[in-house]
Structure 1
Amino acid sequence: MRKIKYKKGRKLQPNTLEYTGIHKRTDSEMQLFVYDNESLSEYGKFEISDLEKSIDLNKTNWLNIHGLNDIELLQSISKYFEIDTILLADILNTTRRTKIVEQQDVLFFNIKSLLPVEDSDTISTEQISFWIKDNVLISFQEKRSDFFTHIRERIRTHSGVIRNKKSDYLLYVLLDAVIENFYITIENEENKIEELISLTKKSADPIILERIEKHRDNFNFLKRSIIPLRDSLYDIKSMKEDTVFNVIENVNFSFFSRLHQKSLELLEQIESDMISLESASNFYFSAQSHKMNEIMKTLTIVSATFIPLTFIAGIYGMNFKYMPELEYVNGYYTVIGIMIVITLGMLYYFKKRRWF
């Protein structure tokens, strides 16, 4: 899992433009949707020079960028749309926390998208940033992914109300798609917890405890990622009373309130899952303790059984000359018989008392 080091990330100057993510070999590509209720124009791979004739401020414009390695391309986009250099630096610096920046006519939002890695206990992380102004929304992704595939299909097929809304509603559905990834990740972690709880009942392998601690780290990582998202969504809710900020229409603030509620639900679910994980850990140690107690009980019974036998053997192992029993013809068999009787009697007593 690639951890986000919020406080120990690489220190860059605010205006330094350098991509700090791991997808260094991903080529930068652009995709543009220009739509309203009546029409849709979709542009695949195109050059920055095509923006002038493609953007229509009377419609909703969604420019999606995959890959953040082409700094010159991002600078050109930043210059065309007048994106602040500090915001562009935040887009490229993937060690930053989720944050929101609001101005009178600009809203900037970045978020961490988390998904489980298949056949692994790790979580993959991708930073996605959104910049919105004048009915133009630009999304910046580190790599090509299918987070927004269903949204593109909704736009193409005119499904729902998305074509009737503006860029602020588009921002809502994009954020909602990213938040759905948190649900997928948490559900995957919950399935792994159920598997671990089942394993703790069957085995005392130390690898189980290592996996429990790994998933505990995963939940802490999820929690650290969702808390700033919750705070940012709350900030958007608070903007409704701001008479200066006008990027989001009043009628659409309720949608962002839903996202804030989802973030609270995610945190509550994580807390519940961490309690379950703690229960799995406690059960593991209890099983280990119970197993050790069973071993000690068995050893104690064996030791207690041999105490009187050792005592008898010790007596007849003394080298005194005048020991009457030594002269008996059947003395050996008699002592062995007494030892067997004592042993069986003690085992019967232990069994009757349910000590084993």
Structure 2
Amino acid sequence: MVPRLKKKLRSRKSGLPPGALVHIGDIKTTTPTLTLIDYSPDGFSERELPDVAALDALPRGGGVRWLNLHGVHDAELLAAVGQRFGLHPLVIEDVLNTDQRPKVDDYDDYLFIVLHLYDIGRNRGDVTTDQISLVVGRDFVLTFQERPSGTFAPIRQRLRAEKGLLRRTGSDYLAYSLLDAIVDSYFSVIERLSERAEGLEEEILGKPQPSTLQGIHVLKREVIRLRRTLWPLRETLNTLCRGDAGFFRPETQLYLRDVYDHTVHVLESLEDVRDLLNGLLDVYLTTLSNRVNMEVRTLTVVATLFMPATLIAGIFGMNFHFIPWLDQPLGFWQALSLMAGVGAVMTAVFWYRRLLR
């Protein structure tokens, strides 16, 4: 069977007022974790916090503070983070709703950005998604995600090693780096989609099975799902590139335009995969139709070969007293010889016309 996409339980919020903190998504049992990174050109520190209150005991320098939360299903912890950084209740509500479409909202003092991480395994049906919510302030960045991933690991490593512009720039450049890492992760997704499409193409050109058609439909659903994520992401990045909010400096907007170009490239590659899948579906149906036609032709030829024998047997089986060969000792064998001779002639004719090859 084709695996179905998991449905989000939106009914939990039915009748609740705006800003009600209700988690919408798969039920999780993992323990949330808070990771704090403070950095500046002169220093770097990284620690895991037991709770939000631990922030009060930490000195706040003049650098950038990056707080990452794994486990957005904990509404109480999210509410505490929101209260600590002065976030609007609607922001916390959107973070808890893990079925948000990519978007950017300007709250004057900070930007709220919603993105999605999309990962596809090499086995059919192995699809995972994770909503990434970013809050970009003047001197801080908050990231919220349900499960840990290695997407942001290179950024943390660059901060530790003091390489590049990260340690010498503000929160806007950190936000750009996070956006760039998410968009770049889509290239590996497209690559795996292409590999699976090429594998299906080899199956179709070889010996297609009913499971091949199922694989095409599963892959098409994944392409559609990814496309629904990328189109809003493109508009989100376009909004950030225009600089309407004013949180990104002009020099950082140049890098954002590069991320936007990467998104367009990913979309174009995704369209190529979709066209390939549509072509594979047409080839599969054509191949299946040709196989059915060959089987029907074989059955028709076999039935036609037996028609003369049936006709001869019917003639000699008629209920008349005077029929040639009926009283002769060799009549039966002569009738069989006639049937075999006509069948041999018809077989030769069919072979000559390539109906038996």
Deviation readout 1:144-172 (Å, 9 max, x if unpaired): 22221111111101122221221111111
CA contact (8 A) 1:105 1:246 kept: no
Separation (CA, whole Å) in 2 of partners of 1:289 and 1:71: 55
2:226 alignment partner, one of 211, 216, 222: 222
CA contact (8 A) 2:117 2:132 kept: yes
Match of 1:266 in 2: 266
Q: Alpha-carbon deviation of 1:10?
A: 5.3
Distance 1:93 1:267, change over 3 A: same
CA contact (8 A) 2:103 2:233 kept: yes
Partner of 1:159, secondary structure, is: coil
Question: What TM-score do you get using the length of structure 2 for normalisation?
Answer: 0.91
Match of 1:257 in 2: 257
Matched, 1:211 2:215: yes
Match of 1:306 in 2: 306
Letter in 2 for 1:201: L
1:40 alignment partner, one of 35, 39, 44: 44
Partner of 1:327, secondary structure, is: coil
- Aligned Cα root-mean-square deviation (Å): 2.3
Letter in 2 for 1:282: D
Percentage of matched positions with identical amino acids: 28
CA contact (8 A) 2:124 2:215 kept: no
Q: Alpha-carbon deviation of 1:318?
A: 1.7
Matched, 1:236 2:236: no
Deviation readout 1:281-326 (Å, 9 max, x if unpaired): 1122112111111111111111211222222111111232222322
Separation (CA, whole Å) in 2 of partners of 1:329 and 1:72: 103
Separation (CA, whole Å) in 2 of partners of 1:234 and 1:8: 33
2:201 alignment partner, one of 179, 197, 202: 197
Letter in 2 for 1:277: L
Match of 1:88 in 2: 92
Match of 1:285 in 2: 285
**For structure 1, which segment, 329-338 or 152-161, has the greater mean C-alpha deviation from structure 2 after superposition?**
329-338
Match of 2:167 in 1: 163
Separation (CA, whole Å) in 2 of partners of 1:65 and 1:2: 26
CA contact (8 A) 1:29 1:45 kept: yes
CA contact (8 A) 2:64 2:139 kept: yes
Q: Alpha-carbon deviation of 1:330?
A: 2.6
Matched, 1:150 2:168: no
Letter in 1 for 2:352: K
Match of 1:319 in 2: 319
Matched, 1:26 2:30: yes
Deviation readout 1:100-156 (Å, 9 max, x if unpaired): 012443111011111124634231111111101121111111122222111111110
Long gaps (5+) in structure 1: none
Separation (CA, whole Å) in 1 of partners of 2:151 and 2:49: 19
Deviation readout 1:243-283 (Å, 9 max, x if unpaired): xx331111110111122222222222222111111122112
Separation (CA, whole Å) in 1 of partners of 2:7 and 2:269: 21
Separation (CA, whole Å) in 1 of partners of 2:170 and 2:265: 27
Distance 1:225 1:323, change over 3 A: same
Separation (CA, whole Å) in 1 of partners of 2:265 and 2:181: 16
Q: Alpha-carbon deviation of 1:178?
A: 1.6
Separation (CA, whole Å) in 2 of partners of 1:319 and 1:91: 90
Match of 1:336 in 2: 336
Partner of 1:95, secondary structure, is: coil
Question: What TM-score do you get using the length of structure 1 for normalisation?
Answer: 0.91
Distance 1:6 1:249, change over 3 A: farther
Partner of 1:96, secondary structure, is: coil
Letter in 2 for 1:339: M
Long gaps (5+) in structure 2: none
Separation (CA, whole Å) in 2 of partners of 1:268 and 1:329: 82
Separation (CA, whole Å) in 1 of partners of 2:164 and 2:293: 63
Separation (CA, whole Å) in 1 of partners of 2:233 and 2:197: 25
Match of 1:119 in 2: 123
Letter in 1 for 2:302: V
CA contact (8 A) 1:37 1:163 kept: yes
Distance 1:345 1:294, change over 3 A: same
Matched, 1:52 2:56: yes
Letter in 2 for 1:101: D
Separation (CA, whole Å) in 2 of partners of 1:252 and 1:46: 34
2:141 alignment partner, one of 129, 137, 142: 137
Partner of 1:324, secondary structure, is: coil
Separation (CA, whole Å) in 1 of partners of 2:286 and 2:23: 48
Letter in 1 for 2:240: I
CA contact (8 A) 2:8 2:24 kept: no
Instruction: Count matched residues.
Output: 352
Letter in 1 for 2:250: N
Separation (CA, whole Å) in 1 of partners of 2:159 and 2:27: 28
Partner of 2:135, secondary structure, is: strand
Q: Alpha-carbon deviation of 1:235?
A: 0.7
